[in-house]
């Protein structure tokens, strides 16, 4: 039995493949991206090597909330090049202070059940400027973050963690 492929079938396959490629490019550019976490700065919440999806849309319409896990372009003063993933602690206008092993936002201690250990440093009271964010890794004592290099730019946020998909035993939906 010989298989005859006509020009119409070839044309349909090419259109299907090109459509799929264009859709993947659009989805990755504007809606959903995949990331591999390269450092232990978010342990125990996210382990080094975890793979997660980052959604890029809702924060543009609904804004960001304290506690969101975000991906953003590092500020120039950090001297880092690769995107970072950290927990959003302070929004524009908030005051942030770290003392006695706790983070205080607007003079209220944050409940942070996701931390593995108490914070072992102090950070003097600061007000988060307009257009800026204060971010910390969940592995507070081993994270290079706002307590070291200052504020992140609000408009540098690329998205919010949506779903950890690898390894399978660490599957997690991020709300």
Would you say 57 and 47 are in contact if contact means Cβ atoms under 8 Å apart? no
- Residues classed as catalytic: 41, 86
Separation of alpha carbons 42 and 33, rounded Å: 19
Q: b vs e for 102-139, b when ≥16 Cβ sit within 10 Å of the residue's Cβ?
A: ebbbeeeebebeebeeebeeebeebebeeebbbbbbbb
């Amino acid at each position: 039995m010989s298989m005859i492929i006509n020009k119409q079938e070839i044309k349909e396959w090419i259109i299907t493949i090109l459509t799929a490629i264009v859709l993947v490019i659009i989805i990755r550019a504007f809606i959903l991206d995949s990331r591999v976490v390269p450092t232990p700065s978010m342990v125990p919440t996210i382990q080094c090597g975890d793979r997660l999806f980052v959604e890029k849309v809702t924060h543009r319409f609904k804004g960001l909330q304290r506690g969101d896990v975000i991906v953003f372009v590092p500020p120039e003063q950090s001297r880092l090049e690769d995107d970072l993933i950290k927990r959003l602690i302070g929004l524009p206008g908030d005051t942030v202070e770290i003392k006695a092993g706790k983070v205080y936002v607007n003079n209220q201690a944050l409940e942070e059940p996701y931390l593995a250990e108490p914070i072992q440093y102090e950070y003097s009271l600061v007000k988060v400027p307009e257009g800026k964010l204060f971010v910390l890794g969940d592995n507070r004592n081993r994270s290079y973050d706002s307590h070291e290099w200052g504020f992140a730019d609000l408009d540098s946020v690329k998205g919010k963690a949506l779903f950890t998909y690898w390894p399978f035993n660490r599957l997690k939906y991020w709300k």
